[in-house]
Structure 1
Amino acid sequence: MDSPSAPSETVFGLPPSIRPGVSLLGGTPPPERSDAARNRERILAAARVVIARDGIEYLTMDLLATEAGVGKGTIFRRFGSRTGVFRSLLDEAERDFQIRMMAGPPPLGPGADPIERLVAFGRARIEVLTTQGDLLRESEAPPEARYGVPARQVTEVHVMSLLRQAHVDGDLPVLAFNLISMLEAILILPPGAVRGITVPRLADGWEELVRRLVA
């Protein structure tokens, strides 16, 4: 059984560059001065408020500058574009998910049966992808970019290690890739858009699939 102080992923060999909380965009964020970090968080907090209140389509650089109380030039220098703001919001959400997945409380984090962790992983991932779907679509990241970043490697290694602990036979890298890709399909076909499929039904379907896989 996993220990909270020693997640199973460390046993199965995550490369040193791939650890909980790695960037969705790849690489290590550059160090920031304290005032720059405060401005960055102020801008992202304002973006979250606008998106929750008005919808993502209404987030403009002018409105964001007003809400954050900074100059528009500050936003451009820090994020480059509206898309850059979206990608930074996604990066924060991904880091939070990784930390919960690999070092948080069970059943998502260490300390639970591997199958219960895998079920919890899928349910939590569906929730994240559902709430972040608009951001992912607006970030304009092509599929090949999403599949190649270190953050996705973290989830693939995590799923592989849980399958291995559950004594699942087969090509585990391919099986993990296919399982994660099934979760990401909701970005292409949003819940409710096809035959009334809802998020709870998708989550229940994930659990049924996992339990049938290891039966």
Structure 2
Amino acid sequence: MLYAVFMSATLPPFPRSQDPSGEDELLQLSSPEDEPCLRADAARNRARLLEAATRLIAEHGVDGVTMEAVAAAAEVGKGTVFRRFGDRTGLLMALLDHSSRTLQADFLGGPPPLGPGAPALDRLRAFGVAVLYRSAEQLDLQLAAQREPTRRYAHPTVRGLALHVTVLLRQIVPDADCDLLALTLLSYLDPALIHHLTRDCGMPMERLERGWTDLVARVTATAPPA
């Protein structure tokens, strides 16, 4: 999961920008609760279910969030939860929506260096640091919501992150294969890797931050072979 930037499933991966700045390349689409066709009662039910799931996480951790438990806490039928979110992963992904939209707003229109107005290299460094710390704060939830490996990189969330990184890389190293480099950089920010490094290996976040800065410097300073 990782960050939830929502794009159409039919959108081809990493389309080329029509704007030299590249900022129009990251498409910001509405999340399910923002859809105008969603009935008012369905929207209320969705908010009620997410509130119940949030309470369960606070009280019992991510393992306490099951479709049955959320239905009971929200005092609705279990079928309502399945209809709204599809499965437990869909429910957990919905819980990540708010912070993901906040992160998206920050790098699309927030203050520099994460947002526009700073050099692309500074924005790329700031982006990785922001994702690192956000993932560390929500690590259990992100791991529980993470898609299976064969589907992970096709998920709109990852595609949105990769698209943003690709836009920045095209401004820094325009002759490189920025699509592949973006995925290489994002692999460093994978929640499973952050879990391993911080909890299994005991590495402090400051070391991971320095590692990200070093990785970005090496990737952007190396010209691709002829």
Partner of residue 205 from structure 2, selected from 169, 177, 199: 199
Alpha-carbon separation, structure 1, partners of 2:55 and 2:37: 26
Aligned partner of 2:37 in structure 1 is 31
The alignment of Structure 1 onto Structure 2 pairs a total of residues equal to 201
Query: What code does the residue aligned with 1:187 have?
Result: A
Please tell me whether residue 137 in structure 1 is matched to residue 126 in structure 2: no
Aligned counterparts of 1:170 and 1:151: Cα–Cα separation in 2 = 24
Rounded Cα–Cα distance in structure 2 between residues aligned with 1:174 and 1:60: 36
CA distance in 1, matches of 2:129, 2:23: 25
3-state SS of paired residue (1:94): helix
**Is residue 51 of structure 2 the alignment partner of residue 45 of structure 1?**
yes
The aligned amino acid for 1:154 is G
Distance 1:213 1:138, change over 3 A: closer
Q: Percent identity?
A: 41
SS of residue in 2 equivalent to 1:193: helix
Residue 121 of structure 1 pairs with residue 127 of structure 2: yes
Q: CA deviation at 1:22?
A: 6.3
Structure 2 residue ranges without an equivalent (≥5): 1-16, 222-226
1:130-169 aligned at under 5 Å gives the runs 130-139=136-145, 141-167=147-173, 169=175
Q: Which residue of 2 aligns with 1:98?
A: 104
Contact 1:22 1:95 in 2 (8 A): no
Out of 178, 187, 200, the residue aligned to residue 192 of structure 2 is 187
Name the CA shift for 1:140/1:105 in 2 (closer, same or farther; >3 Å): closer
Match of 2:28 in 1: 20
Distance of 2:146 and 2:189 partners within structure 1: 19
- 2:182 matched to 1:171? no
RMSD (Å), alpha carbons: 3.0
Q: 1:74 to 1:167 in 2, by over 3 A?
A: closer
Instruction: Give the conservation status (yes or no) of the 8 Å contact 2:23–2:108.
Output: no
Distance 1:96 1:13 in 2: 17
- 5+ residue gaps, structure 1: 1-8
Partners in 2 of 1:162 and 1:140 — Cα distance?
25
Q: What's the CA shift string for 1:49-88, capped at 9, x where partnerless? A: 2212320112233432343343433223322333331132
Once the 2 structures are TM-superposed, how far is the Cα of residue 21 of structure 1 from its aligned partner? 4.4
Looking at structure 1, the residues matched to 124 and 207 of structure 2 have their Cα atoms a distance apart, in angstroms, of: 17
**What letter is aligned with 2:160?**
V
- Given the two structures, how large is their TM-score scaled by the length of structure 2? 0.73
Q: State the TM-score, normalizing by the size of structure 1.
A: 0.76
| Aligned-partner Cα distance in 2 for 1:134–1:32 | 30
